[in-house]
């Protein structure tokens, strides 16, 4: 199998790449990582991959149809795994347009090139080709406290520009299956966490702020509930869907771990109290600071992944407690990685390399 992975220098994409290259007995022949290297795309996330002869990195945009077409044909790609996206809700509230350009227009152009490429393959190759689109449970909107979790039949009701852009992309992917018979698969996943996550997201932000003595900002009352999925489990689910999923189908991927934001922050504080205590002996919880809630903040996400478990036999293997412990340990031991991002050194290097 020859894979084109888009956005592979990001958090989830890089985990997928590292996992695939490390897997024994893998059918992987070639893995091409196409990444634009925006602020959250870090080449250090896949530094080990560069040593593997099967790996190839290309800096570029999924919206560059000429470049994508060249890669598909030159590398005889068998499957596209599309991680490339703008993903942060707060950023989408500040400036929605980049989310439309990448998540909607970029996905459309990628689909167009994939369709044209697939049409030129032999019948056997067309049957084997796959386009796997990575999306989010945020497209479903917000759940009431006692409501059943999202299923694949839950109506789409996005409440942020980010979620709306991903919902639009999901619809485009489905339309290319219905209109052109492009063999697509879509996954809608719950909140990911784990090593290498960019420090604007809740868990790494709280870990690093705590260690630096900064406030731990919690929106509103902190009772917004999320279903947490460890990134290694997510990457395994994606591989399962890519190889065994039914073409044209959507699969939800959840972590079976609902926790409020405040509970997550308090658990992080407790873990850091044990692993790296404050010099004054007080709890990191002292740094928790409640701030004004953000506009349209979804109250609860919960993801029913019974379809994935029933059809493909997947379920998460990492509990939230063990996953969070591993995540805290990673950030404690990878302070250099964190410092390059939080001090701006990494951003300056990236901009210099691509200018």
Is the separation of the CB atoms in 239 and 25 below 8 Å?
no
Q: Tell me what the mean pLDDT of segment 251-257 comes to.
A: 97
Selected catalytic residue, list 61, 78, 137, 232 = 137
Selected catalytic residue, list 61, 138, 227, 258 = 138
- List strands edge to edge, sheet with 191-193: 191-193, 225-230, 258-260
Give the pLDDT band (50/70/90) at residue 339.
confident
Instruction: Kindly report, residue by residue over 14-61, the tens digit of the pLDDT.
Output: 999 999 999 988 889 999 999 999 888 889 999 999 899 999 999 999
pLDDT over 80 at 207, yes or no: yes
Annotated active-site residue 39? The verdict is no
Rounded Cα distance between 207 and 205, Å, is 6
pLDDT over 60 at 349, yes or no: no
Annotated active-site residue 137? The verdict is yes
pLDDT over 60 at 288, yes or no: yes
Q: Tell me what the mean pLDDT of segment 173-200 comes to.
A: 96
Q: Tell me what the mean pLDDT of segment 301-325 comes to.
A: 98
Structure-token match 């972590």, residue found: 255
Q: Tell me what the mean pLDDT of segment 197-214 comes to.
A: 93
Q: Roughly what angle, to the nearest 10 degrees, separates helices 320-333 and 261-275?
A: 50
pLDDT number for residue 338: 84
Rounded Cα distance between 75 and 132, Å, is 18
pLDDT number for residue 200: 83
Average pLDDT of every residue of the chain: 93
Rounded Cα distance between 137 and 59, Å, is 28
pLDDT number for residue 26: 83
pLDDT over 70 at 346, yes or no: no
pLDDT over 80 at 348, yes or no: no
Q: Tell me what the mean pLDDT of segment 91-107 comes to.
A: 93
Annotated active-site residue 301? The verdict is no
Across 282-291, 330-339, 346-355, the highest mean pLDDT is recorded for 282-291
pLDDT number for residue 86: 87
SS3 303: strand
User: What residues contact residue 155 under an 8 Å CB cut-off, 6+ apart?
Assistant: 140
Strand partners, 5: 33, 81
224, two tokens: 């917004």
pLDDT number for residue 344: 59
Is the separation of the CB atoms in 90 and 68 below 8 Å?
no
Q: What is the DSSP string of 110-140?
A: HHHHHHHHHHTS-HHHHHH-EEEEEEEGGGG
Q: Tell me what the mean pLDDT of segment 99-127 comes to.
A: 97
Selected catalytic residue, list 55, 140, 162, 193 = 162
């Amino acid at each position: 199998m020859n894979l084109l992975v888009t956005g592979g220098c990001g958090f989830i994409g890089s985990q997928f790449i590292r996992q695939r290259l490390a897997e024994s007995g893998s059918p992987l022949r070639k893995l091409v990582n196409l990444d634009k290297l925006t602020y959250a795309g870090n080449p250090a996330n896949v530094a080990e991959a560069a040593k593997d002869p099967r790996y190839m990195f290309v800096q570029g945009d999924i919206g560059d149809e000429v470049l994508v077409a060249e890669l598909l044909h030159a590398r005889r790609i068998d499957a596209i795994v599309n991680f490339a996206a703008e993903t942060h809700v707060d950023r989408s509230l500040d400036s929605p347009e980049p989310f439309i350009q990448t998540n909607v227009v970029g996905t459309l152009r990628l689909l167009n090139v994939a369709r044209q490429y697939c049409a030129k393959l032999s019948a056997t190759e067309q049957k084997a080709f796959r386009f796997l689109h990575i999306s989010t449970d945020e497209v479903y909107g917000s759940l009431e406290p006692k409501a059943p979790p999202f299923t694949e039949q839950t109506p789409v009701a996005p409440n942020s520009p980010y979620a709306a852009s991903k919902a639009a992309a999901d619809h485009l992917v489905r339309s290319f299956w219905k209109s052109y018979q492009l063999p697509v698969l879509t996954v809608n996943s719950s909140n990911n966490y784990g090593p290498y996550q960019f420090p604007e997201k809740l868990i790494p932000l709280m870990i690093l702020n705590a260690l630096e003595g900064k406030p731990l900002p919690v929106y509103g009352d902190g009772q917004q509930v999320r279903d947490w999925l460890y990134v290694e489990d997510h990457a395994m689910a994606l591989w399962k869907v890519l190889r065994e999923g039914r073409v044209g189908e959507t699969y939800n991927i959840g972590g079976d771990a609902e926790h409020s934001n405040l509970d997550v922050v308090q658990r992080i504080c407790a873990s850091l109290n044990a692993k790296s205590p404050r010099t004054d002996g007080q709890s990191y919880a002292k740094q928790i600071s409640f701030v004004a809630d953000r506009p349209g903040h979804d109250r609860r996400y919960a993801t029913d992944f019974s379809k994935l478990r029933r059809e493909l036999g997947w379920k998460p293997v990492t509990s939230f407690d063990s996953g969070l412990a591993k995540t805290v340990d990673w950030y404690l031991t990878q302070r250099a990685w964190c410092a390059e991002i939080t001090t701006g050194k990494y951003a300056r290097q990236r901009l210099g390399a691509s200018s």
